[in-house]
Amino acid sequence: MATPLRPTDPRVLGGYRLEAVLGEGGQGIVYLGEGPAGERVAIKWLRPELAADQEMVRRFLREVSAAKRVAPFCTAQVIDVGAEDARPYIVSEYIEGQSLAQAIPQTGPRTGNALHRLAIGTATALAAIHQAGIVHRDLKPPNVILGSDGPRVIDFGISKALGSHTALTSTMIGTPAYMAPEQLAGGPIGPAADLFAWAGTIAYAANGRAPFGNDTMPAVINRVLRMQPDLGDIPQPLRGILLDCLNKNPALRPTARQVIDRLLVSDPAAARPTVPQLPAQRRGFPTLAVVTGATALAVIAAIGGVWAATTNSEPPPVTRSSAPVVTPSPSPAPVVIDLDDTTAVARESPQDPAYLSIFWVKREKWDAYVREPGKTTFTRHSLADAAPSPTGDRLAGIPWQYDDDDSDTVKITQVSSGTSVTVKTVAKPLTTNYVHWSPDGTKVLLTSLKKTGDTTVTQGFVVVDPAAETAAVVAVPGLKGDTAFAWTGTGDSVTTVVTDDDGQAPHVYDLTGRELRTLPPIGGTLSDPRDMFSEGGGSFVARCQDKDVTFCVWDTATGAVLNEFESGCDTVLGWWDATHIFCTAVADDDEDAVVVTDLEGVETQTLIQATDAAMDKLYFRSSYLHRP
């Protein structure tokens, strides 16, 4: 529903006179406007933070301009694109009417000819979009408008244009209840994913519910990956068409044109499948592994790539075809982490250089959940701070209380057996924090701190030798505030970020506390030095000085800037490999993520997907990823 313009809204945008606000979301605000000839248009103006990356702006304008090639029937035609105040806008045809998501709850599910017309109209829109070389990526009931002249599909092309700048990679944009299995698994996305989403949307129109449900994310993902859809009483031939489109194997779904051909057949018996079908056999799948505890934490090991081996429960008659059956390679097996009242999903692949070995959950205190060796289950540890060794076999953790001698300690635990040793570190009133293992796993670095009232000031660092069960306390005078010490990527020097009147810069010390050198100044939010240095310490990454969204990579030895790039990252969490970092990022629809990005700012992989509420309860860092 349109609302009046607010005082902060412009009255003219790109030469279009604005009349009202149609809506506002994570991507931007949508206005009702009037064109030069008096035609009514919808104008989406992107948020400033999304438009801050100029390369993203150019990519966005290029991608959306391509959407202008889409034939206008059954879609909201893209009329114009441009930028105002360095923020891109999209002008499209204004379609007056309710979305499918609005109409079904009010007027009830569609049946008979009304459902058939909706299916043909939306499939025709997809055919036009695919003909223009575009994949929608986010087809769902809210993106189908019931106009006076028939259904129209909106927002096509925009997901791809925004994909590399949102928290979720372009492969993960969408609503889980309507996402294809390959999309959930972070695999390549093509037109077949749109057909899966189309079938879910038509099933929603027919039944008033999504075919895989719309409750918790783990439940929906499990159904999409492993279960057959609930299509209710949808009659043939539409039922068979939807089942084909909801095939777990994208190679076995029909194209939009093939769907249209089958919908136009008047004899249901003649509406045969137009793609080869897999043999009607089933593979046994393991029961989802659930680990429960006092905090009701469940870690579910779900099976990826199942669409390559499953069939529909009601396969229509098979026609012979000379086309080969294509079996996609197995996709990463997702690990689903279900918290008490929120959800996060972690995705892993055997090819990855690292995997999740520990995460933190905030309840009354921050609890550490440590991965059991060789498993996808996690054990809860109550520690003030902790980190696994590089090989994942030991856990170094700081207890919440001093020992009986008023000494702070660090506890080294063998993860598999649970046996441990405790090493004294500093005496009260000093305490320690910021556990960091040396790259070779022979030493543990802690930061010593002193709290006076509400102020905490770093005093120096502690080097712990777990094998000898000894600790060397090193004072570093002149530090201000609470700042962490970290290994520089080698086992013979440490660093901390020092803040003064000129800004903040990493300072490097030897293991006696002697300062060796000062590295170039960094900017933005204070980076955790444990996350800055590449393996071996040859380079480090942080926000560039005096820049809000630009990241710099420096040569540690010379201080030279090796690279600058824009990114959708909020906080760098560490190096994924020599040419990629991983970071937290914020997306639309109250979703956050941990993603991998290359050194040009292009997101290449989603590691963890979570709601805002879940991510507020989760904490990840580079040393929390074990490198096999």
**Per-residue model confidence as pLDDT tens digits over 473-503:** 999 998 988 899 999 988 899 999 998 877 8
Phi and psi at residue 170, in whole multiples of 5°?
-60, -25
pLDDT in tens, 171-190: 334 578 899 988 887 777 88
Percent of the chain at pLDDT > 70 equals 75
Looking at residue 46, what is its pLDDT?
79
Residue 78 has pLDDT above 70, yes or no: yes
Looking at per-residue confidence, does 212 or 218 come out higher? 212
- Is 514 in contact with 529 (CB distance < 8 Å)? no
What lies within 8 Å, CB to CB, of 449 at 6+ separation is 430, 431, 432, 433, 456, 457, 458, 459, 482
Looking at residue 94, what is its pLDDT?
85
Residue 297 has pLDDT above 50, yes or no: no
Neighbours of 102 (CB within 10 A): 15
pLDDT in tens, 138-161: 899 988 989 888 898 887 645 444
- Is 3 in contact with 566 (CB distance < 8 Å)? no
Pick the CATH number of 100-278+285-308 from 3.90.280.10, 3.30.930.10, 1.25.40.20, 1.10.510.10: 1.10.510.10
Question: Looking up tokens 């949307």, which residue turns up?
Answer: 201
Q: Return the SS3 of 275.
A: coil
pLDDT band, residue 276 (cuts 50/70/90): very low
Q: Is 501 a catalytic residue?
A: no
Distances (CA, A) of 314 to 192, 239, 263: 20, 9, 18
Domain 3-93 matches domain 100-278+285-308 at the CATH topology level: no
pLDDT in tens, 401-410: 999 999 999 9
Q: Return the SS3 of 618.
A: strand
**Tokens describing residue 128:** 């036009």
d(CA 611, CA 158): 22
Residue 259 has pLDDT above 80, yes or no: yes
pTM here? 0.50
pLDDT band, residue 16 (cuts 50/70/90): very high
- Is 42 in contact with 32 (CB distance < 8 Å)? yes
**Mean pLDDT for the stretch of residues 565-572:** 82
Looking at residue 616, what is its pLDDT?
61
d(CA 200, CA 239): 11
pLDDT band, residue 435 (cuts 50/70/90): very high
Looking at residue 459, what is its pLDDT?
97
218-247 burial code (b ≥16 CB/10 A, e <16): bbbbbbbbbbbbebeebeebbbbbbbbbbb
Helix (H) or strand (E) holding 56: helix 54-67
Residue 250 has pLDDT above 60, yes or no: yes
**Tokens describing residue 358:** 């520990």
Average of per-residue pLDDT values in the chain: 77
pLDDT in tens, 530-539: 888 888 888 9
**Mean pLDDT for the stretch of residues 539-543:** 90
Q: Return the SS3 of 311.
A: coil
What lies within 8 Å, CB to CB, of 13 at 6+ separation is 31, 33, 43, 45, 84, 89
What are the boundaries of each domain within the chain?
A: 3-93, 100-278+285-308
Least confident of 253-262, 297-306, 496-505, 599-608: 297-306
**Mean pLDDT for the stretch of residues 269-295:** 29
CATH class of 3-93: alpha beta
Looking at residue 217, what is its pLDDT?
81
Residue 73 has pLDDT above 50, yes or no: yes
Residue 376 has pLDDT above 80, yes or no: no
d(CA 275, CA 543): 50
pLDDT in tens, 195-213: 999 999 999 999 999 999 9
**Mean pLDDT for the stretch of residues 75-97:** 81
Looking at per-residue confidence, does 427 or 608 come out higher? 427
**Mean pLDDT for the stretch of residues 211-221:** 86
**Tokens describing residue 467:** 């094998």
Looking at residue 487, what is its pLDDT?
94
pLDDT band, residue 326 (cuts 50/70/90): very low
Say which amino acid occupies 225.
L
Marked catalytic residue, from 9, 53, 138, 338 = 138
Residue 327 has pLDDT above 60, yes or no: no
Looking at residue 136, what is its pLDDT?
83
Residue 578 has pLDDT above 90, yes or no: no
Looking at residue 623, what is its pLDDT?
47
pLDDT band, residue 377 (cuts 50/70/90): confident
Distances (CA, A) of 335 to 128, 300, 305, 343, 369: 37, 6, 13, 12, 14
